Amino acid sequence: KERTLGIIKPDVCDKFSQILEAIYDRGFKVTKMKMCQLSRSEAGQFYQEHQAKSFYNGLIQFMSSGPVIAFELIGEGAILNWRALIGPTDSATARSEAPASLRARFGTDNTRNACHGSDSEQSATREIEFFFPSKGVK
Ligand code: ATP
């Protein structure tokens, strides 16, 4: 079974019960979960691969603007399946192309897009370790 890291972003923390319901309905197992507020530097570290992008500063500002809920999901093809449930990056595109997706239902635009999902096994490992260090309490 595959592992992935999901985040409920600051724009939709108040929707976490609906999002959690969608996660369980799709058959994922939630094996770790925590709510925390990232500092700008932590958000920057998390999104380090986007450092050169034009939207980087806005993204860091947004991701450190309020609490997030991070969780580890386990399931068959969890990485791709979780990204499919989230939908396309831009919430407007999600509303036209994947109306049942979480970004279509809860997102606002390209940045305030409700959820994050790891894009590969390598990112999943790094991102799970970021929020749930293996040295910490399990
Ligand atoms: P995720 O971060 O959930 O994996 P993603 O893989 O769909 O999203 P990325 O290209 O990895 O999208 O971008 C990371 C995040 O940066 C997006 O989720 C979004 O919040 C923001 N972002 C991406 N593209 C844009 C853009 N063109 N304009 C503004 N913000 C953007």
User: At 29, which CATH number?
Assistant: 3.30.70.141
Tell the residue number behind the tokens 């925390």, with chain if given.
Answer: 36
Q: Annotated active-site positions, please?
A: 116
Please report whether residue 137 resides in a domain. Answer: no
Q: Ligand 1 in contact with 123 (CB < 6 A)? A: no
Please report whether residue 138 resides in a domain. Answer: no
Q: What is the mean pLDDT of residues 18-29?
A: 97
Q: How far is the CA of 115 from the centre of ligand 1 (A)?
A: 10
Q: What is the mean pLDDT of residues 73-84?
A: 97
CA dist 39 → 35, 47, 62, 72, 99 (Å) = 13, 12, 11, 21, 32
Conformational region of residue 6, where left means phi above 0, alpha means psi within -120 to 50, and beta covers everything else: beta
Please report whether residue 79 resides in a domain. Answer: yes
Q: Is the C-alpha dihedral spanning 57, 119, 91, 131 positive or negative?
A: negative
Q: How far is the CA of 137 from the centre of ligand 1 (A)?
A: 30
Please report whether residue 54 resides in a domain. Answer: yes
Q: Maximum Cα–Cα distance for the chain, whole Å?
A: 43
pLDDT of res. 138: 60
Label residue 135 by pLDDT band (50, 70, 90).
confident
* Ligand 1 atom nearest 118 alpha carbon: 4
Label residue 137 by pLDDT band (50, 70, 90).
low
- Alpha-carbon 92 to chain mean position: 18
Domain, as residue range, for 62 = 2-131
Label residue 13 by pLDDT band (50, 70, 90).
very high
pLDDT at 136 over 90: no
Please report whether residue 123 resides in a domain. Answer: yes
Please report whether residue 99 resides in a domain. Answer: yes
Q: How high is the mean pLDDT of the chain?
A: 97
Q: How far apart are CA 121 and CA 78, in angstroms?
A: 10
pLDDT of res. 101: 98
- Number of domains the chain contains: 1
Ligand 1 pocket, mutate which of 50, 55, 101, 102 (most atoms under 8 A from CB) = 55
Please report whether residue 43 resides in a domain. Answer: yes
**What percent of the chain stands above pLDDT 70?**
98
Q: What is the mean pLDDT of residues 66-72?
A: 98
Phi and psi for 36 in degrees, rounded to 5?
A: -160, 160
